[in-house]
Amino acid sequence: MRVLLVGPRFHGYSEAMAEALRALGHEVTVHEYDATGSTLDAVRNKVAHDLPGGRGLQWQQRWYDDRAIAALHTVRPDALLVVKGDVFSERWWDTVHAWGGPSVVWFYDERERMSFPEQTLAGLPAVATYSSADSERLRARGVNAHHLPLAFDSLIRWRRRPVDAVTFIGARYPQREAMLRTLAGAGVPVKAFGRDWSRHPSDVLRSRHWRGAGVPAGRNLARDEAYGVMAGSEATLNIHGRQDGFTMRTFEACGVGAVQLVDRPEVEHYFAPGEEVLVFQDQAELDDLAARVVADPVWARTVAARGQRRALAEHTFVHRMQTLQGWWA
């Protein structure tokens, strides 16, 4: 099928999904709806963002709509996949409805954190969401909703980057900062990566985190670099915020062969706790598990290998696209 994938530029995941669809034999065109292809685009978005009274949002929304509608008319696809897509107005969704082909919208965020009108959701042919709770709520409201977890990009090229520490890659929040400091205080080597953690002068200026987190830190990582760091770490932390669905990291950490320390026992729906991943529910459990990982690398490697086998067998983007393409039928 000729597929148009309309999604955000967020860490290159739209292209990762497209590669999975290509692996299944589809011809795929990617339209990253928030990509600024020129300096003029960047300036336009900046001006729109700063306009008062909501006028900037309306202007920016028209820009998103215009470009996506043009892509739909140009590609003339057999099927459409929209990832997230809450930046669009009803003009885009009316155009999709008039086009009339099979389409799926896939959310990687909770419904409550997105600006998606209820009537728009009700009119979509199929909605997939990483949140099992959201899929149940949407179905109760008459939406053709499905639970589709996130995944590991098994097709990207990356190389292992040895790091003699338990790593965390992600945003810096007070709870995470305290957790990493306590872990380091227990004698476990720790390193955090990301602009919020970095002490590089340009990162400090951009993040405005004038005070360090009190643990060793590295700069922001591209996705392939993050895969290499996780694979080369003693273990890698997956600390969730206030969310129902499981993050990409849940599947990526196992997919690259890392020892995953994860804070939610419900991960048992995807990986076996204690065998394929290591689950902690408080600081003491995290300290104990991390210390054991460092002290017993043979055991740790066994856990990592089991998790990787499971991820590659069940939790790649190719697996998810195999499921999703059935909703186009």
pLDDT at residue 242, rounded to an integer: 75
* Residue with the larger pLDDT of the pair 56 and 235: 235
Q: What pLDDT is recorded for position 8?
A: 94
What are the pLDDT digits (tens) for 151-166?
Answer: 999 999 999 999 999 9
User: Which ranges of the chain does DSSP label H, i.e. alpha helix?
Assistant: 13-23, 39-50, 55-75, 90-99, 118-122, 132-140, 174-185, 201-207, 223-232, 248-255, 283-295, 297-314, 317-324
pTM for the complete prediction? 0.91
Structural domain for 66, as ranges:
2-153+317-328
Whether residue 158 is contained in a domain is answered as no
18 and 96 in a single domain? The answer is yes
pLDDT tens digits along 121-153: 888 999 999 999 999 999 999 999 999 999 999
For residue 329, pLDDT over 80 is answered with no
Q: How many structural domains compose the chain?
A: 2
| Same domain, yes or no: 143 and 208 | no
Q: Is the pLDDT of residue 303 over 90?
A: yes
Which residues are paired to 146 by β-bridges? 128
* Residue position matching structure tokens 């590295």: 218
CATH number of the domain within which 7 lies: 3.40.50.2000
Distances (CA, A) of 1 to 28, 69, 79, 132, 312: 8, 19, 7, 29, 25
